[in-house]
Protein backbone atom coordinates (compact mmCIF):
# COMPACT_ATOMS: atom_id res chain seq x y z
CA UNK A 1 0.00 0.00 0.00
CA UNK A 2 1.09 3.55 -0.67
CA UNK A 3 -0.34 5.87 1.96
CA UNK A 4 -0.03 9.63 1.69
CA UNK A 5 -0.51 11.80 4.76
CA UNK A 6 -1.21 15.42 3.84
CA UNK A 7 -0.26 17.85 6.60
CA UNK A 8 2.76 17.01 8.72
CA UNK A 9 1.46 18.73 11.86
CA UNK A 10 0.80 16.89 15.08
CA UNK A 11 -1.96 14.62 13.76
CA UNK A 12 -0.23 13.95 10.44
CA UNK A 13 3.20 13.14 11.86
CA UNK A 14 1.86 10.85 14.60
CA UNK A 15 -0.37 9.12 12.03
CA UNK A 16 2.69 8.58 9.82
CA UNK A 17 4.57 7.12 12.78
CA UNK A 18 1.75 4.73 13.65
CA UNK A 19 1.40 3.60 10.01
CA UNK A 20 5.12 2.79 9.91
CA UNK A 21 5.08 1.07 13.28
CA UNK A 22 2.16 -1.10 12.16
CA UNK A 23 3.80 -1.82 8.79
CA UNK A 24 0.69 -0.79 6.89
CA UNK A 25 2.50 0.53 3.84
CA UNK A 26 4.90 3.03 2.29
CA UNK A 27 4.25 6.53 3.58
CA UNK A 28 4.52 9.91 1.84
CA UNK A 29 4.30 12.81 4.29
CA UNK A 30 3.60 16.14 2.59
CA UNK A 31 3.20 19.71 3.83
CA UNK A 32 3.48 23.25 2.46
CA UNK A 33 6.21 24.13 4.97
CA UNK A 34 9.59 23.48 3.38
CA UNK A 35 11.80 21.10 5.35
CA UNK A 36 9.14 20.08 7.89
CA UNK A 37 7.98 16.81 6.28
CA UNK A 38 11.55 16.04 5.16
CA UNK A 39 12.89 16.51 8.70
CA UNK A 40 10.12 14.45 10.27
CA UNK A 41 10.55 11.67 7.71
CA UNK A 42 14.30 11.51 8.40
CA UNK A 43 13.62 11.41 12.14
CA UNK A 44 11.13 8.56 11.63
CA UNK A 45 13.63 6.66 9.47
CA UNK A 46 16.26 7.01 12.17
CA UNK A 47 13.84 5.45 14.68
CA UNK A 48 13.37 2.41 12.43
CA UNK A 49 16.41 0.39 13.61
CA UNK A 50 15.33 0.81 17.24
CA UNK A 51 11.62 0.16 16.69
CA UNK A 52 12.16 -2.53 14.07
CA UNK A 53 9.99 -1.19 11.27
CA UNK A 54 10.79 -0.60 7.60
CA UNK A 55 12.01 3.01 7.05
CA UNK A 56 9.63 3.38 4.10
CA UNK A 57 8.74 7.07 4.34
CA UNK A 58 9.35 10.08 2.11
CA UNK A 59 8.91 13.68 3.31
CA UNK A 60 8.16 16.19 0.58
CA UNK A 61 6.53 19.44 -0.56
CA UNK A 62 5.95 18.03 -4.06
CA UNK A 63 2.66 16.28 -4.91
CA UNK A 64 4.43 14.33 -7.69
CA UNK A 65 5.77 12.08 -4.91
CA UNK A 66 2.21 11.18 -3.84
CA UNK A 67 1.27 9.70 -7.25
CA UNK A 68 -0.52 6.34 -7.23
CA UNK A 69 -1.43 6.49 -3.55
CA UNK A 70 -3.94 3.89 -2.40
CA UNK A 71 -5.01 5.91 0.64
CA UNK A 72 -4.68 9.64 1.29
CA UNK A 73 -5.17 10.87 4.85
CA UNK A 74 -5.86 14.62 4.90
CA UNK A 75 -4.84 16.37 8.12
CA UNK A 76 -3.88 19.72 6.57
CA UNK A 77 -5.53 22.68 8.24
CA UNK A 78 -5.71 24.83 11.31
CA UNK A 79 -6.52 23.23 14.66
CA UNK A 80 -8.68 24.92 17.30
CA UNK A 81 -7.37 27.30 19.90
CA UNK A 82 -8.98 27.72 23.34
CA UNK A 83 -12.47 29.24 23.05
CA UNK A 84 -12.87 28.30 19.38
CA UNK A 85 -15.50 25.91 18.05
CA UNK A 86 -14.62 23.54 15.22
CA UNK A 87 -17.01 25.54 13.03
CA UNK A 88 -14.82 28.64 13.49
CA UNK A 89 -12.30 26.85 11.25
CA UNK A 90 -14.71 26.46 8.34
CA UNK A 91 -13.55 29.29 6.07
CA UNK A 92 -9.79 28.88 6.51
CA UNK A 93 -9.79 25.11 6.28
CA UNK A 94 -12.16 25.01 3.30
CA UNK A 95 -9.56 26.87 1.24
CA UNK A 96 -6.86 24.44 2.39
CA UNK A 97 -9.06 21.41 1.64
CA UNK A 98 -9.80 22.61 -1.89
CA UNK A 99 -6.06 23.18 -2.49
CA UNK A 100 -5.10 19.74 -1.14
CA UNK A 101 -7.75 17.84 -3.09
CA UNK A 102 -6.90 19.66 -6.34
CA UNK A 103 -3.26 18.64 -5.88
CA UNK A 104 -3.83 15.04 -4.79
CA UNK A 105 -6.51 13.85 -7.20
CA UNK A 106 -4.70 14.04 -10.59
CA UNK A 107 -1.88 11.74 -9.45
CA UNK A 108 -4.03 9.36 -7.38
CA UNK A 109 -7.39 9.05 -9.15
CA UNK A 110 -8.14 5.69 -7.53
CA UNK A 111 -7.24 6.61 -3.95
CA UNK A 112 -9.44 6.42 -0.88
CA UNK A 113 -9.56 9.79 0.92
CA UNK A 114 -9.83 9.91 4.71
CA UNK A 115 -10.43 13.43 5.99
CA UNK A 116 -9.34 14.48 9.47
CA UNK A 117 -9.31 18.29 9.16
CA UNK A 118 -12.06 20.21 10.99
CA UNK A 119 -14.90 20.96 10.90
CA UNK A 120 -14.86 17.28 10.06
CA UNK A 121 -18.24 16.55 8.53
CA UNK A 122 -18.21 19.63 6.29
CA UNK A 123 -14.57 19.10 5.22
CA UNK A 124 -15.41 15.50 4.28
CA UNK A 125 -18.33 16.67 2.15
CA UNK A 126 -16.09 19.28 0.54
CA UNK A 127 -13.37 16.72 -0.23
CA UNK A 128 -15.97 14.48 -1.87
CA UNK A 129 -17.36 17.30 -3.97
CA UNK A 130 -13.97 18.72 -4.95
CA UNK A 131 -12.51 15.32 -5.84
CA UNK A 132 -15.52 14.04 -7.75
CA UNK A 133 -14.62 10.59 -6.37
CA UNK A 134 -17.33 7.98 -5.79
CA UNK A 135 -18.69 8.70 -2.32
CA UNK A 136 -17.62 5.32 -0.91
CA UNK A 137 -14.01 6.38 -1.49
CA UNK A 138 -14.29 9.55 0.62
CA UNK A 139 -14.89 9.38 4.36
CA UNK A 140 -14.08 11.28 7.52
CA UNK A 141 -12.63 10.33 10.90
CA UNK A 142 -14.47 11.43 14.02
CA UNK A 143 -16.60 8.57 15.34
CA UNK A 144 -13.66 6.29 16.10
CA UNK A 145 -12.14 9.09 18.18
CA UNK A 146 -15.37 10.09 19.96
CA UNK A 147 -16.10 6.41 20.70
CA UNK A 148 -12.57 5.88 22.01
CA UNK A 149 -12.92 8.88 24.31
CA UNK A 150 -16.24 7.58 25.60
CA UNK A 151 -14.79 4.10 26.12
CA UNK A 152 -11.92 5.57 28.12
CA UNK A 153 -14.23 7.74 30.26
CA UNK A 154 -16.46 4.71 31.00
CA UNK A 155 -13.42 2.62 31.98
CA UNK A 156 -12.16 5.42 34.21
CA UNK A 157 -15.59 5.86 35.84
CA UNK A 158 -15.92 2.16 36.65
CA UNK A 159 -12.25 1.46 37.37
CA UNK A 160 -12.05 -1.29 34.72
CA UNK A 161 -9.74 -2.02 31.82
CA UNK A 162 -10.56 -0.22 28.56
CA UNK A 163 -10.29 -3.56 26.75
CA UNK A 164 -13.69 -4.75 28.00
CA UNK A 165 -15.49 -1.50 27.18
CA UNK A 166 -17.40 -1.13 23.92
CA UNK A 167 -19.28 2.01 22.89
CA UNK A 168 -20.23 3.79 19.70
CA UNK A 169 -21.11 7.39 18.88
CA UNK A 170 -22.94 8.63 15.80
CA UNK A 171 -24.00 11.96 14.32
CA UNK A 172 -21.66 14.86 13.86
CA UNK A 173 -18.28 15.65 15.39
CA UNK A 174 -19.29 18.24 17.96
CA UNK A 175 -22.33 19.16 19.99
CA UNK A 176 -24.60 16.97 17.86
CA UNK A 177 -22.63 13.83 18.71
CA UNK A 178 -25.01 11.04 19.70
CA UNK A 179 -24.03 8.46 22.28
CA UNK A 180 -25.98 5.20 22.32
CA UNK A 181 -26.34 3.97 25.94
CA UNK A 182 -27.88 0.62 24.98
CA UNK A 183 -24.98 -0.09 22.65
CA UNK A 184 -22.36 0.64 25.32
CA UNK A 185 -21.23 -2.44 27.23
CA UNK A 186 -18.69 -3.25 29.91
CA UNK A 187 -17.52 -6.85 29.69
CA UNK A 188 -20.85 -7.61 28.01
CA UNK A 189 -23.09 -5.81 30.53
CA UNK A 190 -25.08 -2.86 29.13
CA UNK A 191 -23.80 0.41 30.59
CA UNK A 192 -27.25 1.60 31.81
CA UNK A 193 -27.26 -1.38 34.22
CA UNK A 194 -23.98 -0.20 35.76
CA UNK A 195 -24.38 3.56 36.20
CA UNK A 196 -27.32 5.88 36.85
CA UNK A 197 -28.82 8.39 34.44
CA UNK A 198 -26.82 11.31 35.86
CA UNK A 199 -23.54 9.45 35.31
CA UNK A 200 -24.55 8.56 31.76
CA UNK A 201 -25.27 12.22 30.99
CA UNK A 202 -21.96 13.27 32.54
CA UNK A 203 -19.97 10.69 30.54
CA UNK A 204 -21.67 11.62 27.26
CA UNK A 205 -21.23 15.35 27.82
CA UNK A 206 -17.54 14.91 28.66
CA UNK A 207 -17.17 12.96 25.40
CA UNK A 208 -18.92 15.71 23.43
CA UNK A 209 -16.53 18.22 25.03
CA UNK A 210 -13.54 15.86 24.82
CA UNK A 211 -11.67 17.85 22.18
CA UNK A 212 -12.25 21.18 23.95
CA UNK A 213 -11.05 19.71 27.26
CA UNK A 214 -7.68 18.92 25.68
CA UNK A 215 -7.50 22.24 23.78
CA UNK A 216 -8.08 24.03 27.10
CA UNK A 217 -5.26 22.12 28.79
CA UNK A 218 -2.76 22.45 25.93
CA UNK A 219 -3.46 26.20 25.45
CA UNK A 220 -2.11 25.90 21.90
CA UNK A 221 -3.12 23.25 19.35
CA UNK A 222 -5.44 20.29 19.81
CA UNK A 223 -5.35 16.55 20.53
CA UNK A 224 -3.31 14.25 18.32
CA UNK A 225 -2.45 10.93 19.97
CA UNK A 226 -6.02 9.62 20.06
CA UNK A 227 -6.93 11.27 16.72
CA UNK A 228 -3.95 9.70 14.93
CA UNK A 229 -4.64 6.29 16.53
CA UNK A 230 -8.24 6.59 15.33
CA UNK A 231 -7.46 7.46 11.73
CA UNK A 232 -4.83 4.71 11.56
CA UNK A 233 -7.45 2.20 12.76
CA UNK A 234 -9.43 3.18 9.64
CA UNK A 235 -6.33 2.92 7.42
CA UNK A 236 -5.67 -0.54 8.87
CA UNK A 237 -9.22 -1.75 8.14
CA UNK A 238 -8.93 -0.55 4.54
CA UNK A 239 -5.35 -1.73 3.96
CA UNK A 240 -6.06 -5.20 5.34
CA UNK A 241 -9.58 -5.33 3.89
CA UNK A 242 -10.86 -6.40 7.31
CA UNK A 243 -14.52 -5.34 6.81
CA UNK A 244 -14.44 -4.02 10.37
CA UNK A 245 -17.46 -1.94 11.39
CA UNK A 246 -16.32 1.47 12.62
CA UNK A 247 -18.23 4.70 13.18
CA UNK A 248 -17.16 6.99 10.33
CA UNK A 249 -18.40 10.07 8.55
CA UNK A 250 -19.93 8.47 5.45
CA UNK A 251 -22.30 9.37 2.61
CA UNK A 252 -25.84 8.26 3.28
CA UNK A 253 -28.20 6.87 0.67
CA UNK A 254 -31.39 6.32 2.66
CA UNK A 255 -29.98 4.53 5.72
CA UNK A 256 -31.69 5.67 8.93
CA UNK A 257 -34.06 7.62 6.66
CA UNK A 258 -31.19 9.98 5.75
CA UNK A 259 -30.21 10.78 2.18
CA UNK A 260 -27.40 12.55 0.33
CA UNK A 261 -25.43 13.95 3.23
CA UNK A 262 -22.22 13.01 5.09
CA UNK A 263 -22.85 12.08 8.73
CA UNK A 264 -21.35 9.79 11.37
CA UNK A 265 -22.74 6.26 11.00
CA UNK A 266 -21.41 2.72 11.57
CA UNK A 267 -19.74 1.55 8.37
CA UNK A 268 -18.03 -1.60 7.18
CA UNK A 269 -14.57 -0.63 5.92
CA UNK A 270 -12.59 -2.60 3.37
CA UNK A 271 -10.38 -2.24 0.34
CA UNK A 272 -13.15 -0.46 -1.57
CA UNK A 273 -13.65 2.11 1.20
CA UNK A 274 -17.07 2.34 2.84
CA UNK A 275 -18.50 -1.00 1.73
CA UNK A 276 -21.76 -0.85 3.69
CA UNK A 277 -23.50 1.44 6.17
CA UNK A 278 -24.77 -0.69 9.01
CA UNK A 279 -28.18 0.15 10.45
CA UNK A 280 -28.26 -0.34 14.21
CA UNK A 281 -31.47 -0.67 16.15
CA UNK A 282 -32.01 2.90 17.43
CA UNK A 283 -34.68 4.31 19.72
CA UNK A 284 -37.02 6.93 18.29
CA UNK A 285 -35.11 9.60 20.23
CA UNK A 286 -31.72 8.44 18.88
CA UNK A 287 -33.07 8.33 15.34
CA UNK A 288 -34.51 11.83 15.65
CA UNK A 289 -31.18 13.12 16.99
CA UNK A 290 -29.25 11.43 14.16
CA UNK A 291 -31.55 12.94 11.54
CA UNK A 292 -31.22 16.36 13.19
CA UNK A 293 -27.41 16.06 13.14
CA UNK A 294 -27.56 15.20 9.44
CA UNK A 295 -29.76 18.22 8.72
CA UNK A 296 -27.34 20.47 10.65
CA UNK A 297 -24.46 19.23 8.49
CA UNK A 298 -26.52 19.67 5.32
CA UNK A 299 -27.19 23.32 6.24
CA UNK A 300 -23.51 24.01 6.94
CA UNK A 301 -22.50 22.38 3.68
CA UNK A 302 -24.76 24.81 1.83
CA UNK A 303 -22.86 27.67 3.57
CA UNK A 304 -19.64 26.16 2.17
CA UNK A 305 -20.70 26.83 -1.39
CA UNK A 306 -20.57 30.58 -0.62
CA UNK A 307 -17.05 30.42 0.86
N1 LIG B 1 -11.41 14.74 13.00
C2 LIG B 1 -10.92 14.78 14.22
O3 LIG B 1 -11.39 14.10 15.12
C4 LIG B 1 -9.74 15.66 14.52
C5 LIG B 1 -8.95 15.45 15.66
C6 LIG B 1 -7.84 16.26 15.87
C7 LIG B 1 -7.52 17.26 14.96
N8 LIG B 1 -8.33 17.46 13.90
C9 LIG B 1 -8.04 18.50 12.90
O10 LIG B 1 -6.92 18.08 12.13
C11 LIG B 1 -6.26 19.24 11.60
C12 LIG B 1 -4.76 19.15 11.90
O13 LIG B 1 -4.53 19.20 13.28
P14 LIG B 1 -3.02 19.28 13.80
O15 LIG B 1 -3.07 19.27 15.29
O16 LIG B 1 -2.17 18.28 13.09
O17 LIG B 1 -2.62 20.76 13.29
P18 LIG B 1 -1.16 21.35 13.03
O19 LIG B 1 -1.27 22.83 13.01
O20 LIG B 1 -0.17 20.71 13.96
O21 LIG B 1 -0.82 20.82 11.55
C22 LIG B 1 -1.47 21.24 10.42
C23 LIG B 1 -0.48 21.13 9.26
O24 LIG B 1 -1.19 21.39 8.03
C25 LIG B 1 -0.25 22.04 7.18
N26 LIG B 1 -0.93 22.70 6.08
C27 LIG B 1 -1.62 23.87 6.10
N28 LIG B 1 -2.07 24.15 4.85
C29 LIG B 1 -1.65 23.15 4.05
C30 LIG B 1 -1.81 22.88 2.67
N31 LIG B 1 -2.49 23.70 1.85
N32 LIG B 1 -1.23 21.77 2.17
C33 LIG B 1 -0.55 20.93 2.97
N34 LIG B 1 -0.37 21.12 4.30
C35 LIG B 1 -0.92 22.22 4.82
C36 LIG B 1 0.47 23.01 8.11
O37 LIG B 1 1.66 23.48 7.57
C38 LIG B 1 0.68 22.14 9.35
O39 LIG B 1 1.93 21.45 9.30
C40 LIG B 1 -6.97 20.45 12.25
O41 LIG B 1 -7.94 20.97 11.35
C42 LIG B 1 -7.64 19.85 13.46
O43 LIG B 1 -8.75 20.60 13.89
C44 LIG B 1 -9.42 16.68 13.65
Q: Which residues are catalytic?
A: 173
In the predicted model, what is the mean pLDDT of residues 256-277?
Answer: 98
Question: For 171-195, what is the mean pLDDT?
Answer: 95
Distance 181 CA to ligand 1 centre (A): 32
3 pLDDT more than 90: yes
86-133 pLDDT per residue, tens? 888 998 999 999 999 999 999 999 999 999 999 999 999 999 999 999
- Pocket lining for ligand 1, CB < 6 angstroms: 6-12, 31-33, 75-80, 89, 93, 96, 99-100, 116-118, 120, 141-142, 145, 173, 221-224, 227
pLDDT of residue 152: 98
Ligand 1 nearest atom to the CA of residue 230, by list position:
3
Q: Atom 12 in ligand 1: which residue has the minimum CA distance?
A: 75
Residues 151 and 83: their CA atoms lie apart, in Å, by 25
List strand residue ranges (DSSP E) for the chain, in order. 2-6, 26-30, 57-60, 71-74, 112-115, 138-140, 165-166, 169-171, 177-179, 185-186, 189-190, 244-253, 259-270, 273-277
Contact 94, 65 (CB under 8 A): no
Q: Average pLDDT in the 63-84 region?
A: 94
Confidence of residue 305 (pLDDT cuts 50, 70, 90): confident
Q: What percent of the chain has pLDDT over 90?
A: 93
> Rounded to whole angstroms, how far apart are CA atoms 263 and 125?
9
Kindly tell me if the per-residue pLDDT of 27 is higher than 80. yes
Q: So what's the pLDDT on residue 44?
A: 98
| Residue 26 pLDDT level (bands cut at 50, 70, 90) | very high
Is the per-residue pLDDT at 232 higher than 80?
yes
Amino acid sequence: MKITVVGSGFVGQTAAMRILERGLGDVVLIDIIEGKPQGLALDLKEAAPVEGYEPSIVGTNDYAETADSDIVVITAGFPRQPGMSRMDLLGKNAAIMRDVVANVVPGSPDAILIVVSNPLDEMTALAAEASGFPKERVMGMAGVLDSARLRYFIAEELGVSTTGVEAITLGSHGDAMIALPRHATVNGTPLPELVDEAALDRLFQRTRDGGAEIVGLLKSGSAYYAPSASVVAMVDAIAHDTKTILPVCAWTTGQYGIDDVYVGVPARLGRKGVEEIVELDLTDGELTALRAAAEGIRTKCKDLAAI
